[in-house]
């Protein structure tokens, strides 16, 4: 496929998958009723309009936005760390966001949706700083960052389990669904804060695409060309934390989307971040929407959390990357 056709193709896939997700489910919605509801007509088929607009649309929007945020965060992380295995999930940035959001929820007896991203962002940023600080030896290498990140990720998982000991039983159930990574509890109140964090984050990443292009060369070449490479890398990591935190606050620590989507984007869009970042965001959105659609229809009425499905696809993909890397 030519690169010029990539944008329209991804847009078409997004719209197609969104419409399918709105139509398919416990109750199938006929095309006419679906389009009517989307046009704002609640009167002719009120039940269908309610299902489409109040139940499925926020769920689709949540999956699309969170997937886009995770995909873009992964693309930024892979560039800054210069490692195709770098991913906010593996590095523990998602887990840091989750622990902070959990702790905040416990402390305040339930976090309002608008406040959760702030806690998550603090956790993600704290985790990113910890990874950076612990792997710093007068400069840092990408392999050290990954190893430190994997270690901190495990610790954060333990911390999340510890925190949940103190939760009441009903809160605990909700927490566990969220920790598995799920868009099932989608409401418009969670969609808006996610959009308010994700869209500016994506815009910032796009505005910084030229800096990211240069960071991909490594600090030596970047500095020789006049870039303040350490500062640029630090800001890029903060941006990655912001995007990851936005997604985690809304849908929990969904794994592997941030790994797979940037790989697809790299294949599809090539090295320029101006093309690669939107492709990574779109791929992430498609992945999470597809995971949720399959998860809620495959063995209905039981709903498989989307995060479980992305792990089922992602873990073998990660193993394949490692295997390929060893034989490259």
Binding residues for another protein, rule: CB under 8 A, are 138, 207, 210, 213-214, 216-218, 220-221, 223-228, 266, 270-272
Q: How far is the CB of 188 from another protein (least distance, A)?
A: 33
List the structure tokens of 39.
């046009």
Beta-carbon contacts of 81 under 8 Å, excluding residues fewer than 6 positions away, are 91, 142, 145, 146
Q: Which is nearer to another protein, 29 or 80 (CB)?
A: 80
Q: Which is nearer to another protein, 41 or 213 (CB)?
A: 213
Q: Which is nearer to another protein, 20 or 231 (CB)?
A: 231
Q: How far is the CB of 211 from another protein (least distance, A)?
A: 8
Phi-psi region of 110 (alpha: psi -120 to 50; beta: other; left: phi over 0): left
Q: How far is the CB of 223 from another protein (least distance, A)?
A: 6
Q: Which is nearer to another protein, 112 or 271 (CB)?
A: 271
List the structure tokens of 11.
């847009």
Q: How far is the CB of 104 from another protein (least distance, A)?
A: 35
List the structure tokens of 114.
């608008």
Which residue has 């969104």 as its token pair?
Answer: 18
Q: Which is nearer to another protein, 146 or 290 (CB)?
A: 146
Does a cis peptide bond (omega within 30 degrees of 0) precede residue 301?
yes
Q: How far is the CB of 214 from another protein (least distance, A)?
A: 6
Residue 277's nearest CA partner among 206, 207, 215, 325 is: 206
Residue 259's nearest CA partner among 124, 72, 13, 96 is: 72
Q: How far apart, in whole angstroms, are the C-alpha atoms of residue 260 and residue 280?
A: 9
Q: How far is the CB of 218 from another protein (least distance, A)?
A: 6
Cβ-in-10-Å burial (0-12, 13-18, 19+) of 267 comes to exposed
Q: Which is nearer to another protein, 27 or 210 (CB)?
A: 210
């Amino acid at each position: 496929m030519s690169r010029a056709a990539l944008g329209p193709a991804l847009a078409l896939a997004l719209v197609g998958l969104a419409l399918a997700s709105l139509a398919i489910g416990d109750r199938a919605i006929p095309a006419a009723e679906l389009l009517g509801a989307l046009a704002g007509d609640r009167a002719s088929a009120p039940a269908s309009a309610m299902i489409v607009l109040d139940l499925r649309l926020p769920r689709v929007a949540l999956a699309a936005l969170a997937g886009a945020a995770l995909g873009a965060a992964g693309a930024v992380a892979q560039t800054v760390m210069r490692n195709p295995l770098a991913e906010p999930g593996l590095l523990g940035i998602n887990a840091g966001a989750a622990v902070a959001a959990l702790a905040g929820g416990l402390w305040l007896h339930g976090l309002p949706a608008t406040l959760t991203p702030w806690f998550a962002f603090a956790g993600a940023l704290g985790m990113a700083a910890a990874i950076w600080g612990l792997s710093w030896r007068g400069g840092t290498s990408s392999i050290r960052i990954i190893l430190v990140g994997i270690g901190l990720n495990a610790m954060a998982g333990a911390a999340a389990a510890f925190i949940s000991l103190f939760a009441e039983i009903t809160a605990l159930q909700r927490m566990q669904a969220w920790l598995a990574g799920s868009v099932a509890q989608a409401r418009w109140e969670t969609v808006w804060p996610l959009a308010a964090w994700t869209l500016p984050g994506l815009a910032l990443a796009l505005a910084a695409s030229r800096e990211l292009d240069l960071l991909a060369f490594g600090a030596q070449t970047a500095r020789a060309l006049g870039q303040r490479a350490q500062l640029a890398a630090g800001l890029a990591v903060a941006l990655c934390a912001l995007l990851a935190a936005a997604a985690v606050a809304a849908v929990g620590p969904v794994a592997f989307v941030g790994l797979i989507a940037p790989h697809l984007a790299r294949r599809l869009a090539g090295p320029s971040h101006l093309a690669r970042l939107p492709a990574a965001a779109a791929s992430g959105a498609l992945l999470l929407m597809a995971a949720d659609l399959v998860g809620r229809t495959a063995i209905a009425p039981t709903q498989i959390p989307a995060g479980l499905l992305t792990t089922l696809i992602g873990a073998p993909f990660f193993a394949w990357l490692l295997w390929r890397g060893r034989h490259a």
